């Protein structure tokens, strides 16, 4: 079987090269060709010995994902739908800003968590992406964008794991992918500029803190267990108090000194003044132990099956004011790419026809994608 070299972090590639009788520095060269120069053909890798190139050709390839569609917005936002086989597809979105370029990528086809307000959750779980399929979204986007924007330097400065899927339920494939992003011979991204977003898989938050601490966003969406149990079913397993403790433990290792709490604003469900006040006391209670956090309010992007409604802008503002006045940095996510439906919750994600009639990609459903970077001017780093 051919090995897909996108599946390896640098250590993995070194082991692979060793098996071929090659030294580690050859793996470094190969890794740089693939990730820094975007090469996929061994013949292009001119400083690799011809003998190595011939060896590689018989046992390895750089297997990217097929692009099903690409949409470019007038504001520069670009979204791609990638075929991952078997009738599944996943999406990635590039969000350009003056001082950064953010890529939002997927970790799974579908999602098993089943949050009520999330279209991906409503689709159900199809499968975990492999490391190479996670990395391929970045590999493709970065090298496409350099050509498209006529740039020699790096275009993508930030990655957010906020596409389809729960990244911490695909932990073993996620971590090597993060390492490729962070590696100086790979994409060389700062830990502070790679964000994992989770619905709260507590044990895996602890493992991530040890294995590969990057910036963390936690999808909170409710100030108490009764409400959160209903919106984010995983809360029944890992309730809010445990989640807050896990955030605290994570902060001891995190590259940033705060956790971002994401909060999807649902009309009449979780957007009342009492909910905001309850959040303030939740966070205060835990901030005695040092939980520093910022809130990112996401106006809900509706989809038909949800039965939920987006909070009004006034309601979102009023909610934000209560948090801000209590001293919590709060931002409201803006949408980008409206003309190509790339805004939160409007992405046409995967898809498999779950009726089982066909496994072709028969239907485009919306799923949520969240241009986090658009948002938070205050959190901007240098
Ligand atoms: N599974 C991870 C990451 C992917 S979802 C997580 O839940 O954190 C990324 C973000 O988009 C989450 O905060 C999620 O709650 C939010 N989201 C999902 N569906 C949405 C919708 N329809 N409108 C607005 N935000 C949504
Ligand atoms: Fe899964 Fe995140 Fe959607 Fe919840 S919000 S169903 S965890 S992708």
Structure-block tokens of residue 259: 């956790």
Same domain, 139 and 19: no
Structure-block tokens of residue 154: 């790096």
In a domain, 373, yes or no: no
Listed residues 61, 85, 108: the one ending a domain: 61
Contacts of 40 (CB under 8 A, 6+ apart): 34, 61, 62, 64
Domains identified in the chain, total number: 2
In a domain, 137, yes or no: yes
Listed residues 61, 78, 110: the one ending a domain: 61
| CB 122 near ligand 1, within 6 Å | no
Please indicate, yes or no, whether the overall pTM of this predicted structure exceeds 0.85: yes
Same domain, 36 and 127: no
Residue 361 forms beta bridges with which residues?
Answer: 352
| CB 118 near ligand 1, within 6 Å | yes
pLDDT of residue 355: 30
> Is the Cα torsion angle 319, 322, 325, 330 positive or negative in sign?
negative
Q: Which domain holds residue 216?
A: 66-362
* Index of the ligand 2 atom closest to the CA of residue 165: 8
pLDDT, tens only, 150-200: 999 999 999 999 999 999 999 999 999 999 999 999 999 999 999 999 999
Q: How far is the CA of 55 from the centre of ligand 1 (A)?
A: 44
Same domain, 45 and 182: no
Could you list the active site residues? 91, 344
pLDDT of residue 338: 67
Same domain, 55 and 73: no
**In a structure prediction context, what are the per-residue pLDDT tens digits for the chain, which is 382 residues long?**
899 999 999 999 999 999 999 999 999 999 999 999 999 999 999 999 999 999 999 999 999 999 999 999 999 999 999 999 999 999 999 999 999 999 999 999 999 999 999 999 999 999 999 999 999 999 999 999 999 999 999 999 999 999 999 999 999 999 999 999 999 999 999 999 999 999 999 999 999 999 999 999 999 999 999 999 999 999 999 999 999 999 999 999 999 989 999 999 999 999 999 999 999 999 887 645 546 899 999 999 999 889 999 999 999 999 999 999 999 999 999 877 766 666 544 444 434 333 322 222 222 323 333 333 222 222 233 2
Same domain, 87 and 15: no
Q: Residue with the nearest Cα to atom 18 of ligand 1?
A: 118
Same domain, 76 and 129: yes
> What's the CATH code of the domain at 52?
1.10.150.530
| CB 91 near ligand 1, within 6 Å | no
Task: Name the 3-class secondary structure at 213.
Answer: coil
Q: How far is the CA of 297 from the centre of ligand 1 (A)?
A: 11
Which one of 104, 114, 121 would you pick to mutate in the ligand 2 pocket, going by the greatest count of ligand atoms within 8 A of its CB?
121
> What's the CATH code of the domain at 279?
3.20.20.70
Q: Cα–Cα distance between 362 and 318 in angstroms, integer?
A: 42
Pocket residues for ligand 2 (CB within 6 Å)?
111, 113-115, 118, 120-121, 165-166, 199, 219
């Amino acid at each position: 079987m051919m090995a897909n070299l996108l599946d390896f972090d640098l250590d993995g590639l070194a082991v692979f090269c060793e098996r071929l009788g090659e030294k580690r520095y050859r793996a470094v060269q190969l890794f740089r060709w693939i990730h820094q120069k975007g090469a996929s053909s061994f013949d292009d890798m001119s400083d690799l010995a011809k003998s190595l190139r011939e060896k590689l050709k018989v046992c390895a390839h750089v297997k990217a994902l097929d692009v099903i569609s690409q949409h470019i917005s007038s504001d520069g936002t670009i979204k791609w739908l990638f075929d991952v086989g078997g009738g599944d597809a996943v999406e990635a979105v590039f969000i350009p800003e003056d001082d950064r370029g953010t890529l939002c990528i997927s970790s799974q086809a579908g999602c098993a968590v089943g949050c009520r307000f999330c279209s991906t959750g409503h689709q159900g779980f199809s499968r975990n992406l492999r490391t190479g399929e996670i990395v391929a979204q970045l590999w493709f986007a970065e090298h496409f964008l350099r050509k498209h924007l006529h740039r020699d330097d790096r275009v993508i400065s930030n990655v957010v794991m906020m596409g389809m899927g729960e990244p911490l339920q695909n932990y073993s494939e996620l971590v090597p992918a993060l390492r490729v992003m962070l590696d100086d011979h790979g994409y060389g991204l700062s830990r502070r500029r790679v964000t994992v977003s989770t619905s709260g898989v507590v044990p895996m938050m602890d493992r991530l803190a040890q294995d590969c601490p990057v910036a963390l966003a936690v999808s909170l969406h409710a100030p108490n267990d009764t409400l959160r149990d209903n919106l984010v079913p995983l809360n029944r397993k890992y309730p809010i108090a445990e989640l807050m403790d896990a955030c605290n433990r994570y902060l001891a290792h995190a590259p940033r000194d705060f956790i971002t709490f994401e909060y999807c604003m649902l009309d009449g469900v979780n957007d009342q003044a009492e909910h905001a006040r309850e959040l303030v006391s939740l966070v205060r209670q835990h901030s005695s132990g040092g939980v520093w956090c910022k809130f990112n309010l996401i106006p809900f992007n509706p989809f038909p099956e949800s039965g939920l409604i987006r909070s009004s802008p006034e309601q979102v503002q009023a909610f934000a004011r209560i948090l801000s006045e209590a001293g919590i940095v709060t931002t409201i996510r803006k949408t980008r790419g409206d003309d190509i439906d790339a805004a939160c919750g409007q992405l046409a994600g995967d898809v498999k026809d779950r009726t089982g009639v066909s496994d072709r990609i028969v239907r485009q459903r919306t799923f949520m994608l969240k241009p986090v970077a658009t948002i938070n001017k205050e959190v901007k780093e240098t």
